[in-house]
């Protein structure tokens, strides 16, 4: 049997499960909030064009307003200064949009400390148990933050000092960019860096290192708890926005039942 026929049969008989890692897009979808003097992006909104009425008697449709980095979305290298000569979102090779994924669960640590930072030693310890990170694949960083995604305040978790959400240490970001075989980092939080990463030196090390290395980001993922530590295949579908720095993205995972 062909590989593709075997795959569609397996999806049909549920021996391969399709899991949606995408947050619903609505006007309540959380959006990152940068402090003054920085500009902020648009939240998601619909503007009705017609709905079975005099504007269009038999059809319903909307215009959409969205930022490239609104909701579950894809960060292309050109999103960051360090990656400004890299790929825009339309230039990402389609073969990299279907790739294996490792899921590293630090939800207990993030529940105990919302400023929890992933370190190289954490990844090394995971590799000692599960094997190496997937070559050409994704590191999906589970923190439990998807449980907060229905509430902008809980999701951003900010106080007077700024947001408190889990992320990467500076050394871990550098290591993932330069040493790890992954093509990108996927997170459940509003961005691939910690909430406090604006105050790191250098700031936003995850964005700077990974995008500067030509790697990608995926944010605001859901349902990572339903994935195995290894063996899932990720399908990411950013829109091919010409010159775009990123895109809202449908992200699906395939998993094999019993594995
Ligand atoms: Mn982004």
163, two tokens:
């947001």
User: Which residues are CB-neighbours of 184 under 8 A, at least 6 positions away?
Assistant: 138, 139, 210, 215, 216, 217, 218
Cα–ligand 1 centroid distance for 198 (angstroms): 14
**What CATH number belongs to 16-23+68-256?**
3.50.30.50
CA of 3 relative to ligand 1 center, distance in Å: 34
> Which of the residues are catalytic?
79
Q: Give the Cα separation of 154 and 147 in Å (integer).
A: 9
User: What is the chain's pLDDT, residue by residue, as a tens digit (259 residues)?
Assistant: 899 999 999 999 999 999 999 999 999 999 999 888 999 999 999 999 999 999 999 999 999 999 999 999 999 999 999 999 999 999 999 999 999 999 999 999 999 999 999 999 999 999 999 999 999 999 999 999 999 999 999 999 999 999 999 999 999 999 999 999 999 999 999 999 999 999 999 999 999 999 999 999 999 999 999 999 999 999 999 999 999 999 999 999 999 986 5
Give the pair of three-digit tokens for residue 105: 């669960």
Q: What's the 220 CA to ligand 1 centre distance in angstroms? A: 9
| Residue 57 neighbours by CB distance under 10 Å | 9
The reported pLDDT for the residue numbered 257 is 86
- Cα–Cα distance between 176 and 214 in angstroms, integer? 12
Cα 116 to Cα 110: distance, rounded to the nearest angstrom: 5
Peptide bond into 89 cis (omega under 30): no
Q: Which residues pair with 104 in a beta bridge?
A: 141
Tokens describing residue 142: 């589970």
User: pTM score, two decimals?
Assistant: 0.97
**Do 188 and 111 form a contact (C-beta atoms < 8 A)?**
no
**Other residues' Cβ atoms within 10 Å of the Cβ of residue 216:** 29
Distance of CA 42 from the midpoint of ligand 1 (Å): 13
Distance 52 CA to ligand 1 centre (A): 36
Would you report the helix, strand and coil content of the chain in percent, each value rounded to 5?
30, 30, 45
167: phi then psi, degrees, rounded to nearest 5: -160, -145
């Amino acid at each position: 049997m062909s590989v593709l026929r075997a795959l569609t049969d397996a999806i049909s008989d549920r021996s391969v499960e399709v899991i949606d890692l995408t947050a619903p897009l609505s006007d309540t979808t959380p959006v990152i909030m940068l402090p003054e003097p920085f500009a902020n992006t648009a939240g998601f909104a619909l503007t009705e064009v017609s709905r079975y009425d005099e504007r269009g008697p038999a059809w319903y449709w909307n215009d959409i307003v969205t930022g490239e980095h609104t909701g579950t979305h894809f960060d292309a290298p050109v999103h960051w200064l360090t990656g400004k000569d890299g790929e825009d979102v339309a230039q990402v090779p389609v073969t990299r949009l279907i790739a294996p994924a490792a899921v590293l669960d630090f939800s207990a640590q993030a529940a105990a400390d919302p400023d929890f930072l992933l370190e190289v030693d954490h990844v090394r310890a995971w590799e000692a148990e599960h094997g190496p990170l997937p070559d050409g694949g994704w590191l999906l960083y589970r923190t439990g933050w998807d449980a907060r995604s229905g509430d902008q305040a809980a999701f951003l978790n900010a106080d007077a000092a700024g947001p408190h959400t889990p992320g990467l240490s500076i050394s871990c970001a550098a290591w993932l960019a330069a040493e790890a075989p992954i093509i990108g980092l996927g997170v459940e939080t509003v961005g691939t860096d910690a909430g406090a990463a604006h105050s790191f030196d250098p700031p936003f090390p995850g964005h700077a290192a990974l995008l500067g290395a030509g790697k990608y980001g995926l944010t605001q993922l859901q349902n990572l708890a339903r994935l195995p530590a290894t063996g899932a295949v990720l399908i990411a579908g950013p829109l091919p926005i010409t010159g775009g720095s990123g895109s809202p993205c449908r992200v699906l995972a395939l998993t094999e039942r019993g594995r």
